[in-house]
Structure 1
Amino acid sequence: MAQTRIAPPATKNEGQWAFDQREPLNANEQFKQDDDGLNVRQRIEDVYSREGFASIPGQDLRGRMRWWGLYTQRKPGIDGGKTATLEPHELDDEYFMLRVRCDGGRLSLAQLRTIGELSTEFGRGTADVTDRQNIQLHWVRIKDVPEIWRRLEAVGLTTQEACGDVPRVILGSPVAGVAADEIIDGTPAIDIIQGQYIGDPAYSNLPRKFKTAISGSPHHDVVHEINDVSFVGVVHPELGAGFDLWVGGALAANPMLAKRLGAFVPLEDVPDVWAGVVGIFRDYGYRRLRNRARLKFLMADWGPQVFREVLEQEYLGRRLADGPEPAAPPLGRRDHVGVHPQVDGRFYVGAAPTVGRISGPLLTEVADLVEQAGSGRVRLTVEQKLVVLDVAAEQVDALVDGLEALGLQVRSASTFRRGTMACTGIEFCKLAIVETKARGAALVDELERRLPTFEHPLTINLNGCPNSCARIQVADIGLKGALAGGEEGYQVHLGGSLGVDSHLGRTLRGLRIAAEDLPEYVERVATRFDHARLEGESFAEWALRADEADLR
């Protein structure tokens, strides 16, 4: 790395390492400086798993253990009104959520079966597909963690850096390498980044979490607009297929969409460019205030031109070629649900778990179906769905029938089952204030009953708190958990969109929908859209032009 710093002086008061501001400025920066989060694994194996939950000190329990995919889950029976008033130790249960990172959303048959078995044996059968292409288990005891790690690692899986202020799971197209219309397969870059950088102490103390997406799909199937760094498939007129570079997207309480740097990145250069962007975040990222420590704030202050200059001059030592913008994705859904042809003549089959909730026994049954269909590969999507690859034509119907018999709809999936997502919610999450998973599943069932012929694409995202793990600001209907008079309800965001026209949704001020009134509200708004929409108009387009009275 070059010694000369060219960043604007105005950003030199935020605790950046690049300006030798190494004094920890908050408790999180202190525990990270005291001991790298990666080191906690040895203590888990040698001490905590043997001496029990009470032996775990707070900085490890609520801090460093995240570096190995472990969060304490919420103690049962604590209502949402107490989320912000209780101390952390009062919210902690003596059980953990364990996040298994599945880079690129990829799972082999052996990996799928192993996760199912671990869920059944150690997690009370829990397993959720997240919108980050992970699988989360719950009810995990500290004494069982070493054995879970042993079995995961035996089939090539890990929980390393699944959480924490680190580079988290790398999103990838679930149909990379098989889609007939793919621009370029980003899988080789994902493999190099995972093998070379994940677990590297040089990148294990970032200001906050760091999210990556790499996809060569023309359908923009990794929500590149809301990741810290994204590589989006494009075709350069002279250099051929490669990637367009986007930086600085994230949601939560201050949502911002990523910015194009205008740089073209060949496949072989993706790992170096990725490391350069992470290095900028590590060195120039803001560490003084936790709520300003995401890369999006640095991008907002610098702008894409300065960011690209720093990347090229200080971290790469070379200029990147200018490149074209990605083509607009095809209209329609991009969740890969249904039966679709592969480039090799076989088919991939996408199924829709309801709000991402599955179970260990169900995963084992899916593994049996996948094996019977002659496939060995399953993919997870950023829409909380799963996809089976490499299915021969004569096996498709049997696989579809088997999946649908398990409640994983393929051809029969309604727009509501395909388009509804939910975060973990108050059932397990210590930040949540309302229920989401069960509420979302009940909402889907009720909307299917009330609106059986509604077919327009519609995304309904439920979130238990303002952090937007379920991407409420970019959903057609985003529902953010809120309390009104002590009762569970939701604040409404409408008209968010990613893809052809990326933008944040509008908030209807003062509108909070009681939890039991959600089906009636969504039915009312969806019906008004169906009646008032113009030819070819999406819900998001209609919601942005509609009178506010029609949205209430």
Structure 2
Amino acid sequence: MYRYDEFDRRFVNGRVEEFRDQVQRRLAGELTEDEFRPLRLMNGVYLQLHAYMLRVAIPYGTLSSAKLRGLAHIARRYDKGYGHFTTRQNIQFNWIRLEDVPDILDDLAKVELHAIQTSGNCIRNVSADHFASAARDELADPRVYAEILRQWSSLHPEFTYLPRKFKIAVSGSTHDRAAIQVHDIGLQIVENAAGERGFTVYVGGGLGRTPMVAKKVREFLPESELLSYCEAILRVYNQFGRRDNKYKARVKILLHEAGLDEVRRQVEEEYEDIKSRDALTLPHDEIDAIAAYFAPPAFETLPERSETLERAKVVDTALADFVARNLAPHRSPGYGIVTVSLKSVGSVPGDATAEQMEAIADLAERYSFDELRVSHEQNLVLPHVRLDDVPALFAELQKAGVATGNAGLITDSICCPGLDYCSLANARSIPLAQRISERFADLSRQHEIGDLKIKISGCINACGHHHVAHIGILGVDRKGEEFYQITLGGSGDETCSIGSIVGRGFSSDDIVDAIETVVNTYIAQRSSPEEPFLAFFRRVGEAPFKEALYGAAPAAA
């Protein structure tokens, strides 16, 4: 994985000392909150309902064991003993004291982590497929390009103060696990007919109060022109993005108002201007230099099938269930990709205690070449595990309380912090996620339901990605009471779609029953147990669900 060079160290350490001075001035009353706010946001510090929150960047979701132990140290020393992994592959600490933040940032810098570009109107942490370099369907490791984009975008003078935040995601596989079509820029690594590597470029995706699927602006962009084209897009957005209304300031609104053809025309003009000056062409030796940081481990030559694992599954049904859901095929024979679920029944989705982080770090060091990933689905991933080692690894995960075999099932929900923490939220998300997981706790029932993604947001900002859930839940406030609106049929993969609102919201008392009604309707009417929920919804539409939820004449949303 990428290691800091001397420039990185000077840059991050200098930023820590700069912010230490700013915090001291704020605590001394020399800066007002209005003056301090943009400074703290530039360093990932938010003021939430009960305390300050620090969001730490995990570039493209990749961690070493040392980095995860460093995060555990922050959780134990400065927070309440846990951290919350987010849908942007970051981690948040929700109970920090402002006076401790400079020391936290200093401790993070020691393990090559920081909080830069995790907030504010800038290019945010670049995300990527959490199965990068391990997935069988991968054309190229997207983290190489995510790191190039990170270096290019960090404090880029033209893009430090954009109209609004700006998010980029990169996928190198045929199956999109990075949700690139709901990003401001989504990059799909492809090859053209001549075998040359490049990108299909999507622009204008995003969720929030105006959810939109990105539009394809370039079928094939040569690899060497990545930064030129991204800079062209950012220039057009920076010049024409709405600054008069923060709700209309995203590039998706510019695309919607100006039209795809006009935005593409302007981007191509900027692109040709940049190319004419040969300012941002990526030399192959520079790409190769970055790629060297992401060289694959020294895999052993192993048989495709592990007899050790197969025998262990016969005598341990819990292991068999875990392998069925949490072990994905690896590109190297004899290895697998293990998802460590942070969604045990009744737990807070995405939360991990300091002890759990340390245990998982030890296991990554022992079983996964000292490498971990954070998924945008709020789980951790051990990307390179020998199949022979899976039984022993599973036993250790059981001891740490993170061995739930539910990846992709109904209890593997995404959930924002909601009204328990966030000052923007209208409703609680965490208790609802816990209640749903408890209602569907029976693993045999989860297997009967099959693949089903539930995502919960506590407000219209959609940090829980509810718009692209098979079953999405949005918390709303209705005269001081928490209600929940259901959307159906969303998807964040290569078949990206925005879910449809099915009708009026449900009270906190009724929403779990409503979700069960949706699930039961699907099971009763699907063509076979092999028909997934999303395929069923796309075949039959909303009608059977509306009838089951509201009767023959459902009320308007």
Residue 297 (structure 1) aligned to one of 237, 249, 253: 253
Q: Deviations over 1:43-72 (max 9, x none)?
A: 631142476386552224433311111101
Equivalence for 2:82: 126
Moved more, 481-490 or 45-54: 45-54
- Scaled by the length of structure 1, the TM-score of the pair is 0.81
Residue 347 (structure 1) aligned to one of 331, 336, 349: 336
Secondary structure in 1 matching 2:212: coil
Residue 209 (structure 1) aligned to one of 156, 165, 181: 165
Residue 271 (structure 1) aligned to one of 227, 232, 252: 227
- Scaled by the length of structure 2, the TM-score of the pair is 0.80
* 2:512 partner letter: P
Is 1:59 the counterpart of 2:53 in the alignment?
A: no
Residue 390 (structure 2) aligned to one of 396, 413, 437: 396
**How far, CA to CA, are the matches of 2:139 and 2:119 in structure 1?**
31
Q: Deviations over 1:104-159 (max 9, x none)?
A: 11111111110111111101123111111111111111111111111212222110
Is 1:195 the counterpart of 2:151 in the alignment?
A: yes
Is 1:513 the counterpart of 2:511 in the alignment?
A: no
* 1:46 partner letter: D
8 Å Cα contact 1:337/1:349 also seen in 2: no
Shift in Å, 1:282: 1.5
Is 1:538 the counterpart of 2:533 in the alignment?
A: yes
Q: Residues 412 and 381 (structure 1 numbering): CA distance in 2 closer, same or farther, change over 3 Å?
A: closer
Is 1:71 the counterpart of 2:46 in the alignment?
A: yes
Moved more, 438-447 or 538-547: 538-547
Shift in Å, 1:541: 1.8
Q: Deviations over 1:464-484 (max 9, x none)?
A: 111111112221211111234
Equivalence for 1:424: 417
Is 1:435 the counterpart of 2:428 in the alignment?
A: yes
**How far, CA to CA, are the matches of 1:60 and 1:399 in structure 2?**
50
8 Å Cα contact 1:433/1:481 also seen in 2: yes
Shift in Å, 1:395: 1.9
**How far, CA to CA, are the matches of 1:137 and 1:403 in structure 2?**
23
Secondary structure in 1 matching 2:19: helix
Shift in Å, 1:342: 2.6
Instruction: Please list, as runs of the form range in 1=range in 2, the aligned pairs for 1:171-320 lying within 5 A after superposition.
Output: 171-317=127-273, 318=275
Secondary structure in 1 matching 2:456: strand
**How far, CA to CA, are the matches of 1:147 and 1:169 in structure 2?**
22
Residue 447 (structure 1) aligned to one of 440, 443, 446: 440
Shift in Å, 1:407: 3.1
Q: Residues 197 and 142 (structure 1 numbering): CA distance in 2 closer, same or farther, change over 3 Å?
A: same
**How far, CA to CA, are the matches of 1:120 and 1:176 in structure 2?**
30
Shift in Å, 1:302: 2.7
Secondary structure in 1 matching 2:490: coil
Shift in Å, 1:218: 1.2
8 Å Cα contact 1:64/1:164 also seen in 2: no
Q: Deviations over 1:431-463 (max 9, x none)?
A: 012111232123212222494553321111111
* 1:118 partner letter: I
Q: Residues 338 and 410 (structure 1 numbering): CA distance in 2 closer, same or farther, change over 3 Å?
A: farther
| Structure 1 alignment gaps of length 5 or more | 1-38, 76-94, 320-335
Shift in Å, 1:381: 1.1
Secondary structure in 1 matching 2:176: coil
Q: Deviations over 1:207-263 (max 9, x none)?
A: 000000011111101111110001013232224343210000111111111000133
Residue 479 (structure 1) aligned to one of 443, 453, 473: 473
Moved more, 382-391 or 299-308: 299-308
**How far, CA to CA, are the matches of 2:405 and 2:152 in structure 1?**
40
Q: Residues 137 and 178 (structure 1 numbering): CA distance in 2 closer, same or farther, change over 3 Å?
A: same
Is 1:46 the counterpart of 2:21 in the alignment?
A: yes
Q: Deviations over 1:368-412 (max 9, x none)?
A: 222232531100111111101222233222112222443323545
Shift in Å, 1:316: 4.2
**How far, CA to CA, are the matches of 2:157 and 2:355 in structure 1?**
37
Is 1:338 the counterpart of 2:335 in the alignment?
A: no
Secondary structure in 2 matching 1:389: strand
Secondary structure in 2 matching 1:210: coil
8 Å Cα contact 2:26/2:36 also seen in 1: no
* 1:546 partner letter: A
**How far, CA to CA, are the matches of 1:378 and 1:115 in structure 2?**
13
Shift in Å, 1:485: 5.1
Secondary structure in 1 matching 2:158: helix
Shift in Å, 1:413: 4.9
| Structure 2 alignment gaps of length 5 or more | 1-13, 277-323, 344-348, 551-557
**How far, CA to CA, are the matches of 2:122 and 2:482 in structure 1?**
33
Equivalence for 1:31: none
Q: Residues 505 and 349 (structure 1 numbering): CA distance in 2 closer, same or farther, change over 3 Å?
A: same
Q: Residues 193 and 140 (structure 1 numbering): CA distance in 2 closer, same or farther, change over 3 Å?
A: same
**How far, CA to CA, are the matches of 2:368 and 2:526 in structure 1?**
44
Equivalence for 1:166: 122
* 1:366 partner letter: I
Secondary structure in 2 matching 1:340: strand
Equivalence for 2:547: 549
8 Å Cα contact 1:118/1:148 also seen in 2: yes
Instruction: Please list, as runs of the form range in 1=range in 2, the aligned pairs for 1:147-166 lying within 5 A after superposition.
Output: 147-166=103-122
Give the alignment's Cα RMSD to 1 decimal: 2.5
Q: Deviations over 1:271-299 (max 9, x none)?
A: 33222222222222111111111000111
8 Å Cα contact 1:543/1:551 also seen in 2: no
8 Å Cα contact 1:180/1:341 also seen in 2: yes
Residue 104 (structure 1) aligned to one of 60, 70, 81: 60
Equivalence for 2:452: 458
Secondary structure in 2 matching 1:470: coil
Q: Residues 129 and 479 (structure 1 numbering): CA distance in 2 closer, same or farther, change over 3 Å?
A: same
**How far, CA to CA, are the matches of 1:382 and 1:500 in structure 2?**
15
Q: Residues 453 and 340 (structure 1 numbering): CA distance in 2 closer, same or farther, change over 3 Å?
A: closer
Secondary structure in 1 matching 2:372: strand
Q: Residues 520 and 246 (structure 1 numbering): CA distance in 2 closer, same or farther, change over 3 Å?
A: same
* 1:48 partner letter: V
8 Å Cα contact 2:25/2:31 also seen in 1: no
